[in-house]
């Protein structure tokens, strides 16, 4: 039995002034309007000088009641809403939702649709990691990577825009497949992108990997052990950087992922630097998947036979995918009507954010910024 106080996520707040005068302890607020919190996250920090004694996260500023909305929309109508959760990786959200409903309906997307899904999802994973890298480096004090990553991310957004007209919240998948056939030159654009981006990733690495300031700010910062990761349900690159070779794309393949060769990068120390290295390598592995997918993309229909009015049989299903931030799951309960009885979203950011406290306890205030960045949270998904 774990001692429940090991992962205490709340602070016993006394009178701050009194505490301050008595023992030099200080309680300060970070956020909710703080550029380094990546949205509207409020963290209450209990400090002893520069040292963090404990934190408490206050979330919910972006709560829109997505799960409640789902119960009042049809399965199809709810589809665009999921894009607004993790808005920097909207394609992954859509993939998870569509596959969950397909499972409930007991249908399967045709092979071509699955390949298009993999291509767009991996492009989005790259875009998400690039945005993460840019903002994370900016938080730590390196401004250049932001310009580099946004410049290259633009190429991905252009492909999305050409494919479906939207750049960020793409709503690119439908239940049963994809709505749009690829545009003329889609393969060419993706191939061009695959050739264009590897030198750029090397360029980011040149800026940071051996940069002394970067090393000082990230090595041994925000360490988390495998045991803590598992206890706290932390997934995605954070778990992998601690040394667990676990990726849902391999463990329980979905879409067409079982067709492709790729590695799961892992780290050993579980610190901010390892998480950076894991994500950098993940970008390269995404490119590997993209190259295979775009070369082998099969011909055929892009939509399965789906009833116009979807009435999944009574039952429930849980389906999860490897989103750029970790395990993104949908638990859907159907009562046999056109609207879901209950949709539960298992957001990776929400669960990963819980680990913030144990990662920063005993560290410096500046490290809190680095750790929030390295957790790669999106508040739209934390608050839903």
Partner 1 sequence: MPEETKSPAPPPGGEPAQKPPAAAAEKPVPPAKLAGPVPTPWESPLVTKLKRQYGSGVREANTYLGQDYLVLDPSITNEILQVLRDEDEFDYCVDITAVHYPKQEKQLELVWILYSFARNQRLRVKTTIADGESFPSSVPIWATANWLEREVFDMFGIKFDDHPDMKRILLPDGWKGHPLRKDYGIIQQDQEWVKINLGIESGQ
Q: Which of 134, 177, 267, 329 binds partner 1 (CB under 8 A)?
A: 329
Residue 34 DSSP one-character state: B
DSSP string covering 311-360, please? Answer: -PPSEEEEEEEEETTEEEEEEEEE-SSSS-SEEEEE-HHHHHHTTHHHHH
Shortest distance, position 218 Cβ to partner 1, whole Å: 25
Shortest distance, position 280 Cβ to partner 1, whole Å: 25
Q: Which of 231, 306, 364, 365 binds partner 1 (CB under 8 A)?
A: 231
The answer to whether 384 contacts partner 1 (rule: CB under 8 A) is yes
Give the C-alpha separation, 342 to 351, whole Å. Answer: 20
Contact 114, 150 (CB under 8 A): no
* DSSP bridge pairs for 345: 330
Q: Which of 45, 52, 59, 82 binds partner 1 (CB under 8 A)?
A: 59
Q: Which of 32, 60, 80, 243 binds partner 1 (CB under 8 A)?
A: 60
The answer to whether 243 contacts partner 1 (rule: CB under 8 A) is no
Residue 291 DSSP one-character state: H
The answer to whether 300 contacts partner 1 (rule: CB under 8 A) is no
The answer to whether 68 contacts partner 1 (rule: CB under 8 A) is yes
Residue placing its CB nearer to partner 1 in the complex, 21 or 251: 251
Q: Which tokens go with 190?
A: 């993706």
The answer to whether 6 contacts partner 1 (rule: CB under 8 A) is yes
Residue placing its CB nearer to partner 1 in the complex, 239 or 293: 239
DSSP string covering 107-121, please? Answer: ----HHHHHHHHHHH
Contact 323, 96 (CB under 8 A): yes
- Taking phi over 0 as left and psi of -120 to 50 as alpha, with beta for the rest, 65 belongs to left
Size of the site for partner 1 (CB under 8 A): 61
Give the C-alpha separation, 348 to 92, whole Å. Answer: 12
Contact 175, 102 (CB under 8 A): yes
Name the one range near partner 1 by CB under 8 A: 103-111, 122-130, 176-184, 296-304: 103-111
Residue placing its CB nearer to partner 1 in the complex, 67 or 187: 67
Shortest distance, position 129 Cβ to partner 1, whole Å: 23
Name the one range near partner 1 by CB under 8 A: 91-99, 125-133, 137-145, 325-333: 325-333
Give the C-alpha separation, 67 to 73, whole Å. Answer: 10
The answer to whether 309 contacts partner 1 (rule: CB under 8 A) is yes
Name the one range near partner 1 by CB under 8 A: 3-11, 163-171, 179-187, 205-213: 3-11
Residue placing its CB nearer to partner 1 in the complex, 112 or 223: 223
Scored b (16 or more CB within 10 A) or e, 273-286 reads bbbbbbbbbbbbbb
Binding mask 249-268 for partner 1 (x = CB under 8 A): --xx----------------
Give the C-alpha separation, 21 to 30, whole Å. Answer: 21
Give the C-alpha separation, 16 to 24, whole Å. Answer: 10
Q: Which residues bind partner 1 (CB under 8 A)?
A: 1-10, 59-60, 63, 65, 67-69, 71-74, 77, 103-104, 106, 228, 230-234, 244, 246, 251-252, 307-309, 313, 315-318, 320, 327, 329, 331, 333, 335, 337-339, 341-342, 344, 346, 350-351, 354, 383-384
């Amino acid at each position: 039995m774990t001692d429940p106080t090991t992962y205490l996520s709340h602070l016993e707040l006394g009178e701050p002034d009194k505490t301050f005068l008595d023992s030099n302890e200080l309680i300060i607020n970070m956020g909710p309007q703080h550029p380094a919190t990546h949205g509207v996250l409020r963290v209450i920090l209990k400090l002893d000088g520069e040292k963090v004694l404990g934190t408490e996260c206050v979330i919910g500023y972006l709560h829109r009641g997505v799960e409640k909305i789902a119960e009042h929309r049809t399965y199809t109508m709810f589809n665009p809403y999921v894009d607004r959760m993790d808005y920097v990786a909207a394609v992954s959200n859509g993939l998870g939702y569509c596959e969950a409903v397909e499972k409930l309906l007991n249908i399967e997307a045709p092979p071509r649709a699955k390949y298009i899904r993999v291509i767009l999802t991996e492009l989005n994973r790259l875009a998400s990691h690039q945005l993460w890298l840019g903002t994370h480096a900016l938080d730590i004090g390196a401004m250049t990577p932001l310009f580099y990553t946004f410049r290259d991310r633009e190429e991905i957004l252009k492909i999305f825009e050409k494919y479906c007209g939207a750049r960020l919240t793409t709503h690119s998948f439908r239940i049963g497949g994809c709505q749009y056939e690829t545009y003329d030159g889609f393969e060419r654009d993706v191939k061009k992108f695959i050739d264009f981006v590897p030198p750029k990733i090397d360029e980011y690495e040149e800026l940071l990997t051996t940069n002394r300031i970067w090393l000082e700010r990230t090595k041994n910062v925000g360490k988390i052990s495998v045991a803590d990761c598992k206890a706290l349900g932390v997934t995605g690159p954070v778990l992998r950087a601690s040394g667990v070779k676990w990726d849902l794309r391999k463990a329980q393949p979905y879409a067409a992922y079982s067709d492709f060769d790729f590695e799961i990068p892992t780290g050993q120390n579980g610190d901010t630097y390892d998480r950076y290295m894991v994500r950098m390598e993940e970008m390269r592995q995404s490119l590997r998947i993209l190259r295979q997918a775009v070369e082998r993309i099969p011909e055929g229909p892009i939509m399965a036979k789906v009833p116009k009015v979807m009435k999944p049989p009574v039952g429930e299903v849980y389906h999860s995918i490897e989103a750029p931030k970790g395990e993104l799951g949908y638990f859907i309960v159907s009562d046999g009507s056109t609207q879901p009885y209950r949709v539960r979203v298992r957001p990776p950011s929400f669960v990963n954010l819980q680990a913030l406290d144990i990662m920063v306890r005993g560290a410096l205030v500046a490290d809190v910024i680095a750790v929030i960045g390295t957790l790669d949270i999106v508040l739209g998904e934390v608050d839903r």
